[in-house]
Chain A
Amino acid sequence: MNRRKVIALAGAGVVGAGAAAAGAAALTRDHEPATAGTSGAVDFYGERQAGIVTPAQDRLHFVAFDVVTKDRDRLVEMLREWTAAAARMAAGRDAGLIGAVGGIPEAPPDDTGEALGLPPSGLTLTVGFGPSLFRDADGVDRFGLAAQRPAALADLPRFPGDALDPKISGGDLCVQACANDPQVAVHAIRNLARIGFGTVSVRWSQLGFGRTSSTSTSQATPRNLFGFKDGTANLKAEEESLLREHLWVRPGDGPSWMEGGAYAVTRKIRMLVETWDRTSLAEQEAIVGRAKGSGAPLGGKDEFEEIDFTTKGADGQPAIPEVAHVRLAHPDQNGGVRLLRRGYNFVDGSDGLGRLDAGLFFISYQRDPHKQFVPVQTALARNDVMNEYIRHVSSGLFACPPGVREQGDFWGRTLFDL
């Protein structure tokens, strides 16, 4: 089935608008001024985990692990080792105390070495715990954590159109590595995976490039692989009262170990870019609800203006169609809920049919996914005409605990050290 018709029918109406827009001056490719400090270090220690409101770096390596040990102490010990290695790598140092080249010749180095000579590159490492860590598929309380599982970490529902591959979905633990140099992000994940052998096993991992959201007002809105500005209405680091309301878990929200943390939802969204690319500009804009060049809402002028969903076009129909992506996803249409989006583009080579295996690795952080991500995604899954061009192929949900306060503290201490 196909929901495109709603807009295809309206197509006759929007073509006029597209033709008019084509007459406007061609956009120049303005470059974002290089931001200072893209090679510097981001503080690893703090009240919150880095990598959530940190201005989104350019590159991602995201990994989900299965815990393979049954020994809780071994798991905790690994988290301690991970934390120490993560703190060192975030500071631009080797993963281990000895380093890539400093040890005795007969021993393999305790750092893999590919980041030697590279600056910290804004590396952040953010950890999360999946629902299956608390209770596995058979309902077994694996590590005595079941009572600590927050209601907000209940499995996501199935959404209409989901084409999820279980092999690249879920996971007991996740680590999100973001950096401005892809080699630095990969280096970090590779070393953590190595430390984890025997305790955890890599379930799936995803590389991303070209951040698709800005998490700070200092950043310009980037473009996704459909060529549109994405995440204009994102929560931003500077909006502190909004972050308190929509992002950080508060006392009373659930088990206290999550206070100051946030929940991450990941969705790997394959984009059928070949069919999208041969769709007319007017239809692309009608599907998204924004102008492709400026990012302004249809019927509006400026990217960041308040969207007036009641504006009518020349044909008397809403300027932003009822099923446009921006309308369905907008807080006004979803009881005011907001997300902090932190997604990345991906191209995993090609799919064997002469097409790019490309899309968006969507990541959102929020205080309660069931009150924020779920209603928005439900509306999108039902009605978004964009569904013709996308497939959700993987899904993940993780509870990201509060930050590591200082040396000696470790990822998940509030959960395990009760």
Chain B
Amino acid sequence: MFGRCRLRREVAAGGPIAVNATDSVCEVARTDVDAGTVIFRVTNKGVKVTEFYVYAQGDRVMGEVENIAPGLSRELHVELPAGSYETACKPGMVGKGIRGALKVNGSAVPLTADAALAAATESYQRYVRSQTAALLEKTREFVTAVKAGDVARSKELFPVARTYWERIEPVAEIFGDLDPKIDGREEVIEEGMEFTGFHRIEKDLWTTGDISKDGPLADRLMADIDEVVARANAEKLSPLQLANGAKELLDEVASGKITGEEDRYSHTDLWDFAANLEGSKAAIAALRPALEQRAPDLVKQLDTEFANVETTLGRHRAGDGWKLHNQLDQDELKELSDSINALAEPISKVAAVIAK
């Protein structure tokens, strides 16, 4: 194994591929490379925070770097077998991003069924690690703003930090003791339990606007996030958990976000909606090679329905973020609800296909 790894590293010895990312372009210096470990060096020359992704078909994330601040450079090391891929920069960290084609040369070896499942969990675990890294950073920024008493900045960062939480919510929820502390809503808090976490600070930010006493709450949120991230990174997930997680994320959308229950003070539910959807798509994308072997028609249906939800949700973009839940009328909410139901039904079939 070591020998092979070293050999592959040498393939990339030509030096990292420069990616020039601004708010409107995503220039990748080479778009035709050999199979093996490919290194990208992404420099953000824009004014918005950006992200860089390498996608296989169906937006399966092969590798990504999150949260590249303006002026910074970051490297992405990604193992790419032969095939056709897409690169994407996401200035403002939302949407489909600025896409480009990437061709990887070499002989492609089809995966065995077991290898496809193993690759799925590895791929998803990479995704989890990239999200948890960004979750840590953005929560730290949020906590810093809260402790500094900067209400405007805290409000701005609240839905952004939550995005990374919501994308991997089913993983974070494995840790039942931490979940209510981080993401508990006021009504589920029982006697003898303190209302803490994101929604407690949200309440102060949007109802009284007084966060002068929220320092300890912010510190506690950070400590809880630190812990959940450490545990999530160490968690070994099964392909079945990926399949169930993809469905649960849509259940979250259906039961909490469309109704506006989740972010009842800030009304930033559509941010969470988008993040849940992205997380669900990432889990399905990780399973894609296995699904294509087992149920190609289901894959087509999922592609169609994911695209439909994305289009429907996309109508409610506002700048780099999303409209507030209370800015949508009942017809628009119903349309979103219908699109989620249409997607969630085929997604609920994935687990049985994977268990087969």
Contacts and interface: CB of A to CB of B under 8 A. Distances in A.
Contacts of B255: 272, 275, 388-389
B252 A354 contact: no
Given A278-B348, A280-B352, A388-B251, A352 B244 contact: no
A241 interface: no
B302 to A, nearest CB: 14
Contacts of B170: 5, 8
A2 B173 contact: yes
A98 B352 CA distance: 65
Contacts, number: 92
B345 A278 contact: yes
A355 interface: yes
Interface residues of B, number: 41
A160 interface: yes
Interface stretch (A9-17, A102-110, A207-215, A291-299): A9-17
B337 A160 contact: no
Contacts of A274: 254, 341, 344
B334 A353 contact: yes
Contact of B189 (A2, A160, A283): A160
Contact of A15 (B175, B184, B247, B355): B355
Contact of A278 (B187, B247, B330, B334): B247
Interface string B16-59: 00000000000000000000000000000000000000000000
A4 B187 contact: no
A25 interface: no
A6 interface: yes
A210 to B, nearest CB: 24
B254 A9 contact: no
A136 to B, nearest CB: 25
B240 interface: yes
B180 interface: yes
B351 A1 contact: no
B187 A161 contact: yes
A3 B180 CA distance: 9
B254 A275 contact: yes
A225 to B, nearest CB: 16
Interface residues of A, number: 32
A12 B351 CA distance: 10
B113 interface: no
Contacts of B179: 1-2, 5
A162 B187 contact: yes
Given A5-B174, A352-B330, A280 B351 contact: yes
A162 B244 CA distance: 27
Contacts of B245: 8
Given A11-B240, A162-B187, A275 B174 contact: no
B169 interface: yes
B244 A11 contact: yes
A340 to B, nearest CB: 27
Interface in B195-240: 238, 240
B165 to A, nearest CB: 12
Interface string A263-277: 000000000101100
A314 to B, nearest CB: 16
Nearest to A279: B348
A408 to B, nearest CB: 48
Given A278-B247, A278-B348, A388-B255, A9 B174 contact: yes
Nearest to B258: A353
B64 to A, nearest CB: 25
Contacts of A382: 190
B240 A15 contact: yes
B187 A160 contact: yes
Contacts of A283: 244
Contacts of A15: 240, 351, 355
A220 interface: no
Contacts of A2: 169, 173, 179, 248, 252
Contacts of B248: 2, 4, 8
Contacts of B333: 352-353
B185 A1 contact: yes
A280 to B, nearest CB: 6
A240 to B, nearest CB: 37
A22 to B, nearest CB: 10
A264 to B, nearest CB: 25
A3 B334 contact: no
B73 interface: no
A163 interface: yes
Nearest to B355: A15
Nearest to B342: A354
B3 interface: no
Contacts of A12: 238, 240-241
A19 interface: yes
A10 to B, nearest CB: 11
B188 interface: yes
Contacts of B252: 2
B187 A352 contact: no
B241 A355 contact: no
Given A1-B184, A5-B174, A11-B244, A352 B190 contact: no
Contact of B244 (A8, A272, A275): A8
Contacts of B187: 160-163
Contact of A160 (B173, B174, B188): B188
Interface in A343-399: 352-355, 381-382, 388-389
Residue from B189, B240, B251 having most chain A Cβ neighbours under 10 A = B251
A161 B338 CA distance: 26
Contacts of A19: 355
Nearest to A353: B337
B319 interface: no
Contacts of B241: 8-9, 11-12
A354 B173 contact: no
B337 A354 contact: yes
A376 to B, nearest CB: 15
B244 to A, nearest CB: 5
A9 B337 CA distance: 27
Interface string B159-173: 000000000011001
12 contacts: A2-B248, A5-B173, A8-B173, A11-B241, A15-B351, A161-B188, A279-B247, A280-B348, A353-B333, A354-B338, A354-B341, A389-B255
Given A2-B248, A355-B341, 7 more contacts: A2-B179, A5-B170, A6-B176, A8-B244, A12-B238, A280-B348, A355-B337
Interface of A: 1-6, 8-9, 11-12, 15, 19, 159-163, 272, 274-275, 278-280, 283, 352-355, 381-382, 388-389
